Amino acid sequence: MIETARLIIRPWRDDDRAPFAAMGADPEVMQHLGPLMNREASDAAIDRMMALQKAIGHCFWALEARDGGEFLGFCGLKMAPLGIHGLTGFPEIGWRLARRAWGQGFASEAAQASLDWGWQMGMTRIVAMTVPANTRSQAVMQRIGMQRRPDLDFDHPLLAADNPLRPHIATEICR
């Protein structure tokens, strides 16, 4: 679907389920994202992405290495969650990579390609969000030109008030 020098960003396939489940069960991968995912929750997440792809033509797509086809994680664009002032109604860019793919520039490469795709599709504003402690994702946001929007920081509405992952920071990039 989208190809870069080292990556293929594509719709999900059933053979992505096992490696995605392994990512969701990795405490380091999930440290800033929420609880560990069992296979049922992991499969449900893929099912939601497949449904989004079918309904609107994009989602957080599967990410694979061009050389060898290894599943590396996901990256792409979907609509920001409902109930988040200033972000709802805009495309959100997001990524999650298997730990073995960290530190190699894959997230930035995939995110830039996803942004470029969004601009080609006529999107004019793309947002991103993460928890304050997720400095790796914040670094990717900065590398692809996103700007921090402290006025749009929020407490995630789906998380309990005492959940340490509830506070989120917001970034955006406009074209």
Between CA 48 and CA 63 the distance in angstroms is 16
pLDDT, one tens digit per residue, over 15-66 is 999 999 999 999 999 999 999 999 999 999 999 999 999 999 999 999 999 9
Contacts of 65 (CB under 8 A, 6+ apart): 6, 7, 8, 72
Q: What is the CATH number of domain 2-174?
A: 3.40.630.30
**pLDDT tens for each residue of 154-169:** 999 889 999 999 999 9
CA gap 44, 30 in Å, rounded = 16
Enter the tokens of residue 57.
Answer: 């033509």
The tokens describing 12, both together, are: 């999900």
Model pTM score: 0.95
**Residue 103 Cα distances to 79, 108, 129, 134, 140, angstroms:** 27, 10, 20, 14, 11
